Structure 1
Amino acid sequence: MALMLVAVGVLSAGVLIVYLSGAFRRSSGPPRNIVPVLDGWWGRGKKPEEEEDAAIREFKLEVSAEELEDLNDRLRKARWFESVEETKFHFGIKPEYMKLIQEYWLNEYDWRKQEKRLNKYPQFKTNIEGIDIHFVRATPSKLKPGQRAKPIMMVHGWPGSFYEFFKIIPMLIDPTNHGGTDVDVFEVICPSLPGYGFSEAAHKQGLNVREIGRIFHKLMLRLGFESYYLQGGDWGSMVIDQTAGMFPKHVRGMHSNFTSQLAPLSQVVLGKLVPSLVLDDESYGKFLPSWSRIVFGLKEFGYLHLNATKPDTIGHALTDSPIGLAAYIIEKFSVWTNYDWIDLDDGGLDGYWSKDDLLNNVMIYWVSGCITSSLRLYKETIPRSSELKKFINTVPTGLADLPNDLNRSQRNWAARHFSNIITYRTYPTGGHFAALEVPKLLAEDVRNFVQKVEELYPEVMSSES
């Protein structure tokens, strides 16, 4: 039995290494840009012969009283198990904490108030390649005569949603009241990834980050933006990377708060033996390939293997149980915000996140019933990740390096994929959910990046005027 467990551990580690190295490795001699497939069809049945309906329809989030009562009934009937003493968050999110979530959800959380908040910015749907794409469009209320807002698309990841950007949106569309200047005015587009929130899920296999990148490019063109900026984290960072690789002449610049390029092999050994020779800071050392890194992956990336292999199996449980759904999502807001919180009884959640913020995000998954389709992005992307990364991103790039994120890439590692890094900033704090955690830092960084791009490439702005 012991030998069997060792064999399983080694095999799992090997699978993990293949996943991680394949997902973010740049192969030798890749093309500089992607030659994109310019169309796809993700709707039911065969693609119709008639031209695609390009209408943009208003959308408002309205959950019925019957749906809310069903949710409350399920919450009241939740079944519980007993936790093991003194496990902190090492076994996952504790039932004691989830009981606090249940009590707050039932007795204090005001969905109608939060629903109104989620409807603060205009929302729309439009059909692209056979599926409805939902997006928020936040426009500035005041511009100088002749001034045009800078269009930026901000793309979320899993287990996030368009709600991640609700704290940063006002800092970008109204910068003078949030530490910026009147030349920094943005128009913000926040789409829901297909199969997430209120965007329709694909009805065909194959919808990965590259296909989504093309769909989102079509969305920006449909909104009248021939050129635009991009920003994203988690899956969003990979989607915008693909968009920039396919359509570099349309992307003015992209800013990412999740970079996952690994150190070149030549630096791995030196990084362990003489870290001062190759590491910009000793904190990057723990992201070099090592046994401890493999152990970390085995402990924390079980969700990834499950999502990437059998998403529909776990999807039954998560779609049926609001407590199960909340536990699966909220646990990531603990360990992905700061892994040290795994040693705390509440996973650090109560000292950092408001329960309203946590439940707003969970509710988007619950009321839309999207959790299973959201997990499928892992199944569709990870097996092809090595292939999808075989290009050099040439567009002006800004990179945010957050000290508590799941992975970090120092600048020269990231430069193996991004050939035109304009800004690279290491934040003093923050983890995986940058737009929701440290919106002020991210807004300042995005504004600084865009200013530098437009100083270096003034012809981009002059062509837009």
Structure 2
Amino acid sequence: MFTEVLLGLLSAGLIFFLLRRNRKQVLETEDGWWGPGVPPDAEEDTTIHPFEVTTSNEELEDLYRRIDQTRPVPSLEDSQFNYGFNFQYLKKVVSYWRNEFDWRRQVDKLNRYPHFKTSIEGIDVHYVHVKPKKVPEGTSAVPLIAVHGWPGSFYEFYGLIPLLTDPSDPEELVFEVVCPSIPGYGFSGAPHKKGFDSVCAARIFLKLMKRLGFQQFYAQGGDWGWLVTTNMAQLEPETVKGLHVNFAPPSKPGLPMVLSIMLGRRFPKLFGFTNMDIERLFPRMEKQVVEPIKETGYMHIQATKPDTAGRGLNDSPVGLAAYILEKFSTWTSHDFRDLEDGGLTRKFSLDDLLTNVMIYWTSGCIISSMRFYKENFGKGLDQPHSKLPVLVPTGYACFPNELMHTPELWAKQKYHKLVTFTPMARGGHFAAMEEPQLMAEDIQKFIKIVEKKKKR
């Protein structure tokens, strides 16, 4: 009798422990209200409205007037992009912007895909929703939400979308793609209250996908999109069928990571380190210390006083372009700092780069986009989501010129079901825009594996 009671207590204790442990694996959150004032008494309008990007003569005349009134400041001799955006090349970019760039044509390109808005927690959330023209008989389209970062926008995915929704290979999966603008970015409304961080964005995007009728779907993200989609998987692991990321900085160093840093150079095979891991993780001490200082000044500004710096950028289109496009140079390749033109058109066209700038300019969102840094970093680095693993199948596309390198060992500390880890042949931080074909191939590879496992 005593033995049976003891076994019963132990069993109950074990079940309680497992349930409690499992409960802790899910990120918890509460609904918010980010509109002005207090929440209305009536239920929120869940209607989905078509949206169209527009422009006007007045908008363009104001832009040109501000460009024409810019006060030039020459760069230092032989400074290239090492002091920021080089003045000589900025003159060429601005001249093209003022005299040749056709914003109306780019607006038509933006409207090539259907845009919509819907109100969630007091914010008008903007998104692009692209359905495939045809789906092979006996199959269904795979729903995927793709989330951008800073200083990007939903436009980063315009080269990727057709590769997923209309693949040339009949053996490939066909996707239905949703590309939202993070609240405070692009054509999504900006929060009116403090505290809107990545978890809030994740909660809103989960609501968005359910409003669109998706009870389960895949998610993809880089930069802030990495964190937002990671939080989505942590909030509702049963809803997010799989997660694909192309940026995955370690959030909380564990023992394996610490040991790999201490011993990885000497015993690389012990930690599964490749030559790329060694090159990226163990450069000269000078490079380890100096590089982060060179490239993270913007982050400190935006994580502390975004409104101050943002005021000037919101008033000056040339200042805004220099601030944003410098990141598309350096974050694509650090070597581009030593080029007079910053290597900008080696990977991107000026039309695409200026279209992204114009999304920030015409929506007036630069300040609210910068605030996202303060809301996330202002709460400290030891947030609940940083302590929780991701338990959904995950694929990681590891691009060689990414800002921060994460070897497979480190990725597994966070993403416990890492299905694919792909060292990519080329590409940097803005991978979806820079290398859409490579990105599409890796998404296909990852989701095919997950789908096959689920069928089994």
TM-score, structure 2 normalization: 0.91
- Cross-structure match for 2:362: 367
- Cross-structure match for 1:88: 80
Q: Secondary structure at the match of 1:415?
A: helix
Mapped to 1, the partners of 2:82 and 2:76 lie a distance apart of 10
- Answer yes or no: is the 8 Å Cα contact 1:162–1:190 preserved in 2: yes
Percent identity reads: 47
TM superposition shift of 1:343: 1.1
> Of 320, 338, 344, which residue of structure 2 is paired with 1:343?
338
Distance change >3 Å, CA 119–CA 332, structure 1 → 2: same
> Of 264, 271, 274, which residue of structure 2 is paired with 1:271?
264
Unaligned runs of 5+ in 1: 1-28, 460-465
TM superposition shift of 1:442: 0.5
User: Which letter maps to 2:115?
Assistant: Q
- The correspondence of residues 163-202 of structure 1 with structure 2, limited to 5 A, is 163-175=155-167, 177=168, 180-181=169-170, 184-202=173-191
- Whether 2:371 is the aligned partner of 1:382: answer no
Mapped to 2, the partners of 1:114 and 1:74 lie a distance apart of 20
- Cross-structure match for 1:452: 449
- Answer yes or no: is the 8 Å Cα contact 2:159–2:436 preserved in 1: yes
User: Which letter maps to 1:294?
Assistant: V
- Whether 2:313 is the aligned partner of 1:318: answer yes
Mapped to 2, the partners of 1:82 and 1:344 lie a distance apart of 16
- Cross-structure match for 1:230: 219
TM superposition shift of 1:276: 5.0
- Answer yes or no: is the 8 Å Cα contact 1:287–1:407 preserved in 2: no
- Cross-structure match for 2:6: none
User: Which letter maps to 2:441?
Assistant: E
> Of 379, 399, 403, which residue of structure 2 is paired with 1:402?
399
- Residues 344-401 of structure 1: per-residue CA shift (max 9 Å, x gap): 1111113322100110100000000000000001000023332131101000000000
User: Which letter maps to 2:308?
Assistant: T
- Cross-structure match for 1:11: none
- Answer yes or no: is the 8 Å Cα contact 1:30–1:390 preserved in 2: no
- Cross-structure match for 1:150: 142
- Cross-structure match for 1:328: 323
- The structure with the larger Rg is 2
- Residues 5-64 of structure 1: per-residue CA shift (max 9 Å, x gap): xxxxxxxxxxxxxxxxxxxxxxxx997623422411111111112111100000000111
Distance change >3 Å, CA 275–CA 292, structure 1 → 2: farther
- Residues 150-178 of structure 1: per-residue CA shift (max 9 Å, x gap): 10000000000000000010000001x2x
TM superposition shift of 1:77: 1.3
- Cross-structure match for 1:132: 124
- Cross-structure match for 2:300: 305
- Answer yes or no: is the 8 Å Cα contact 2:329–2:342 preserved in 1: yes
TM-score, structure 1 normalization: 0.89
- Cross-structure match for 1:74: 66
Q: Secondary structure at the match of 1:350?
A: helix
TM superposition shift of 1:147: 3.3
- Answer yes or no: is the 8 Å Cα contact 2:29–2:199 preserved in 1: no
Aligned pairs, number: 428
User: Which letter maps to 2:429?
Assistant: H
